[in-house]
Structure 1
């Protein structure tokens, strides 16, 4: 493990409160403080990171590794070995005997690809059509009494207006091409399961599962049934989170950034994960979409506009594909908004991912993907605004 990766893992563990709760030794906390101090110079950073690795893990490593708390290290083991966690055997005997092999492969594939729990996908497939084995109307052809079709029971209107749609045409539904034939076919298991994964992701999964499943079928009893089935499909009886959604597997968002200013911005924003959306909120208990960004920049000593409407014209506009961590991504979303007047904003933390406070019913503040969102207006870079450049210049003098 590299010194940079070591620092990233330990900071993530600290964010989760493990030192304070006595589940990691105090020396880890001391090492983290040493690492922060060491950021000013490259050689000292490497030395501090090495000390952080050697001291706590040499003295306490056997205790930490041998006695992890299952409820805390859910989804990945100590050290955030995300690659091994992704390939770990997590399919229960119940799942192996109940799910057809081709369906199981698709649930696993698209769960990992989109970043949602495969066993929740599978539980929906079970609850809806017994993994495509149901002979009821609307599973193999046509629709049921409610207008739903296919193994994952999409409403045709939600899918894209018709059962089979060419993917390069314009549509606002969840029609997806899971088998690579250029069409989104609601009756094709690969297409339907990929569409279901996207729907769960867009509506709050993997963090707010209850909210995401409720959007899929608006009944609390349905949510309870799906979650119960999902637990039975996992070896440990837990829903868990995909490794890529675990805070300890955050791909080193902070460490991948060379600018100390952007590091401070990201550190503050990422530390707010799990807090609720509060309209008009600027912390500490909760934030709205622009409030978390406003406060993250303040954490770095920079002043930017408070609202989305003010932030949109403030930063220098950046072409899609050239965005960097710390940049803002805007959406045509909400009342009285439009292509030139976006109403929602998130902060880029890595290519394709942002941290956002989305809405009251969208679940807690979290890192989400933005490439699959259809209403992106554009990207801006507040750090290139003339006023911010002056603030940075003053800070250095």
Structure 2
């Protein structure tokens, strides 16, 4: 990256709510759903219909085989264009072949390191750092050894994919690249390289799952109530983010969830700060569609006061309204986020249980 690292770090913090401290996850309570909420539903997986852009002859000739495999693997995993990832790797260090300071060891004059040129501060303060679900940063473990090594191509490429995704890719890839390196000439250069790497000669947005997949998500809901919540929430995709918005034309992160629950006849707190203590805590791995997933993101937030929330729609996936510059409301991966705080189940709150009973028997 050839622009001011200080300005870049500030922009990343603004765009993604990046905090550099480790967070402490609150103890989770394992709970089960009452019988009237969990009967008559079976799990249906939604097929991933995304297609990987084929590599051009230019790409296969220029990109080392192990790097090409990693660009495709992590691009597909996170949901960003592999050829954009590859173009960043080319522009930054010629896929790790550069002999400039900071590529294989140490840092350059701006404090950046590794084949994808991460600021050490945004990687976690160290070049090699243990990676866990509570870590809040871009340090990533792309090879499964438990360590985020900024010099390891597998780790660095996964971290770059997560950073691009967090800042607008794949839909708004130019914005994501601008955050990666705050210069429009850089964005233009990366896109030009990406076009040469694609057999089609284009920078395509990876196709999302077919729209009929929504039906599968709704049908797989653990109850009719959750199905109604998901049906409303999924219908809001493509609408813009608006701080304080509760629809119908725009929402913020907690607003779309509040409105989705209201569509099912249920009342929950309006804000993220209210929703976090409202639901019963759920163990990671036990979350279900309809549950909420929270993140330590935003000024003044912490592990005990998360500032961002998404609605779980299937294992590993959530619907979220992220921020004004992050693109429209969409389904994203919560497993790819390192600043996750925990999960809650509003449907287990005593007040909601009473609301559900009244919905089933209005005479109560």
TM-score band, normalised by shorter chain:
0.7 to 0.9
Match of 1:91, SS state, is: coil
User: Using a 3 Å threshold, how does the CA distance of structure 1 residues 315 and 188 change in structure 2: closer, same or farther?
Assistant: closer
1:394 equivalent in alignment to 2:358: yes
Matches of 1:248 and 1:211 in 2, distance apart?
29
Displacement of 1:166:
4.4
Match of 1:347, SS state, is: strand
Aligned to 2:22: none
Match of 2:182, SS state, is: coil
User: Which of 58, 66, 82 pairs up with 1:94?
Assistant: 58
Whether the aligned pair in 1 keeps the contact of 2:137 and 2:338 (CA below 8 Å) is: no
Whether the aligned pair in 1 keeps the contact of 2:123 and 2:150 (CA below 8 Å) is: yes
Displacement of 1:282:
1.1
Whether the aligned pair in 2 keeps the contact of 1:308 and 1:343 (CA below 8 Å) is: yes
User: Using a 3 Å threshold, how does the CA distance of structure 1 residues 275 and 229 change in structure 2: closer, same or farther?
Assistant: farther
User: Using a 3 Å threshold, how does the CA distance of structure 1 residues 335 and 273 change in structure 2: closer, same or farther?
Assistant: same
Counterparts of residues 149-298 of structure 1 (less than 5 Å): 149-167=113-131, 172-243=136-207, 252-298=216-262
1:312 equivalent in alignment to 2:270: no
**TM-score scaled to structure 2, two decimals?**
0.77
Q: Which string of whole-angstrom CA distances, capped at 9 and with x for unpartnered residues, describes residues 43-73 of structure 1? A: xxxxxxxxxxxxxxxxxxxxxxxxxxxxxxx
Q: Which string of whole-angstrom CA distances, capped at 9 and with x for unpartnered residues, describes residues 321-349 of structure 1? A: 22111111222333443333332211111
User: Using a 3 Å threshold, how does the CA distance of structure 1 residues 199 and 335 change in structure 2: closer, same or farther?
Assistant: closer
1:350 equivalent in alignment to 2:328: no
Match of 2:217, SS state, is: coil
Match of 2:143, SS state, is: coil
Greater Cα offset, 353-362 or 290-299: 353-362
User: Using a 3 Å threshold, how does the CA distance of structure 1 residues 81 and 298 change in structure 2: closer, same or farther?
Assistant: closer
Tell which has more relative contact order, 1 or 2 (C-alpha 8 A, sep 6+).
2
Match of 2:164, SS state, is: helix
Whether the aligned pair in 1 keeps the contact of 2:85 and 2:161 (CA below 8 Å) is: yes
1:380 equivalent in alignment to 2:344: yes
Aligned to 2:298: 334
Matches of 1:366 and 1:253 in 2, distance apart?
14
Displacement of 1:312:
2.3
Whether the aligned pair in 2 keeps the contact of 1:92 and 1:233 (CA below 8 Å) is: yes
User: Using a 3 Å threshold, how does the CA distance of structure 1 residues 222 and 248 change in structure 2: closer, same or farther?
Assistant: farther
User: Using a 3 Å threshold, how does the CA distance of structure 1 residues 165 and 382 change in structure 2: closer, same or farther?
Assistant: closer
Structure 2: gaps of 5 or more residues: 1-39, 41-45
Matches of 1:82 and 1:120 in 2, distance apart?
21
Greater Cα offset, 279-288 or 216-225: 216-225
Q: Which string of whole-angstrom CA distances, capped at 9 and with x for unpartnered residues, describes residues 122-177 of structure 1? A: 11111112222233333233332322222211122222323333446986442333
Matches of 1:238 and 1:294 in 2, distance apart?
39
User: Using a 3 Å threshold, how does the CA distance of structure 1 residues 246 and 156 change in structure 2: closer, same or farther?
Assistant: farther
Whether the aligned pair in 1 keeps the contact of 2:168 and 2:325 (CA below 8 Å) is: no
The structure having more radius of gyration, on CA atoms, is: 1
Match of 1:339, SS state, is: coil
- How many correspondences in the alignment? 317
Whether the aligned pair in 2 keeps the contact of 1:304 and 1:311 (CA below 8 Å) is: yes
Displacement of 1:379:
1.9
